[in-house]
Structure 1
Amino acid sequence: MSSEKKVGPWRVTGSRDVFENPWIAITDHKVIHPAGTPGEYGVVHFKNLAIGVLPVDENGMVPLVGQHRFPHDKYSWELPEGGGTLGVDPLVAAQRELVEETGLTAKQWAPLCEFDISNSVTDERAVCFIAWELSQGAASPEPSEALTVKKIFFKDLLEMVISGEISDSLTIVMTLTAHAKALRGALPEPISAALLAGGERK
């Protein structure tokens, strides 16, 4: 009996796991391409959801988290983000990440966006939220993290995204989605007003 299976127009004739650690697993698939030619397809499976948070205060200010990102060997300014265990409510993970990285808690939360981060060779998905009515407490980053937090106006964040100064995909998607939803009135009115107002970049 053949173990061949279909994945859309692809035919998978065999698979083997080639690497695994606590965060990812890599599987090498022997495939028949949609055009009928044989080949290979490696897929990186992520064991966590990517979680992002756009926290905004009544003045339209948001916190950015700065850290050196190992894969790209460069410093990156990002909205609060991290990993959430699969099968656990993503909102719980978002609330935890916000406190850990910034010390902020929020009374109000709403879904902002969900998307595939890189759908060519990975199955990683992101779930992101917008949070408001913020209270400041003490941050508690993981021991492996060296973080810097600064607050800027959302308008300045939008400019950093558009100019390419920010390259983190979750931050880009959250920022542009929030701006579009604010313009459409698809967010609570006080939040839309805060996002579209705010000060000017120095």
Structure 2
Amino acid sequence: MNSTAQGLGENDAGLDEVRRALEPESSLLERVTGDEHVWQGKIFSVDHLEVELADGSHAWREVVHHHGGAGVVAIQSGKVCLVRQYRVVLGRVTLEIPAGKLEAGEQGESCAARELAEETGLRAEKLVHLATVLGSPGFTNEHTEVFLAQGLSQGTARPDEGEVVRVVWIPLDEVLRAISAGLIQDGKTVAGVLAARALLSDEPMGDLR
């Protein structure tokens, strides 16, 4: 197993520099001194924060609160399961791993399994955690837990009302090239596929069925 895969273990001792870099530092601290609730929607809410910096100066932060979501990297016979979906905010079709938002109190693994089944009809015997992705930590706490699906079987897809997706299976090597070429830009998809490839670099792709 390679070093990236080993790093997924809870007792890994090879991340000392990263852990040191993540330690709290007073000169970086931002203390919240004011909080104005601006807007509440069905999926997220917006607050306007006033913060005090370490030098005593003040600044404003616009913050979006979100429950988060989960996604699944499913690989079978060397191909990655992706969904084609029109994203109105971008005005174009994207390629993404099956994913969706967490329901209130829902765990990431349960959400991932549900979204995989709803969007693609696929069921997984096991889901292995690959990564937790912060989409844009400069303004939102939204996070996406990404899992690797193992032991796939095919059922019937049942997308949510108003959700229109098309499932495609694309060779892993082509997906990796598409990421480098900027054709696949979705953050959870990029992180999930790269993490899966690192974890499985010593495993035959065809053995994931």
TM-score bracket for the superposition, by shorter chain length: 0.7 to 0.9
Shift of 1:39: 2.1
Correspondence 1:40 to 2:51? no
Shift of 1:126: 1.2
Identify unmatched segments of 5+ residues in structure 2.
1-25
1:135-178, Cα deviation, whole Å (9 max, x unpaired): 11111111111111111121221111121110100000001111
**Alignment map for 1:1-202 (pairs within 5 Å):** 9-46=29-66, 48-57=67-76, 59-183=77-201, 185=202, 192-194=203-205
8 Å Cα contact 1:179-1:195 kept in structure 2: no
Shift of 1:79: 0.9
Shift of 1:195: 7.1
Aligned length: 181
Structure 1 CA distance for aligned equivalents of residues 174 and 48 of structure 2: 43
Normalising by structure 1, what TM-score?
0.83
Which stretches of structure 1, 4 residues or longer, exceed 3 Å deviation after superposition?
none
Q: Which amino acid aligns with 1:88?
A: E
Structure 2 CA distance for aligned equivalents of residues 167 and 115 of structure 1: 14
Q: Which amino acid aligns with 1:194?
A: M
8 Å Cα contact 2:133-2:188 kept in structure 1: no
Greater strand percent: which structure? 1
Identify unmatched segments of 5+ residues in structure 1.
1-5, 186-191, 197-202
Aligned alpha-carbon RMSD (Å): 1.9
- Tell me the SS of whatever aligns to 2:82: strand
1:45-90, Cα deviation, whole Å (9 max, x unpaired): 00x2221100112x12221101111222221011111111253221
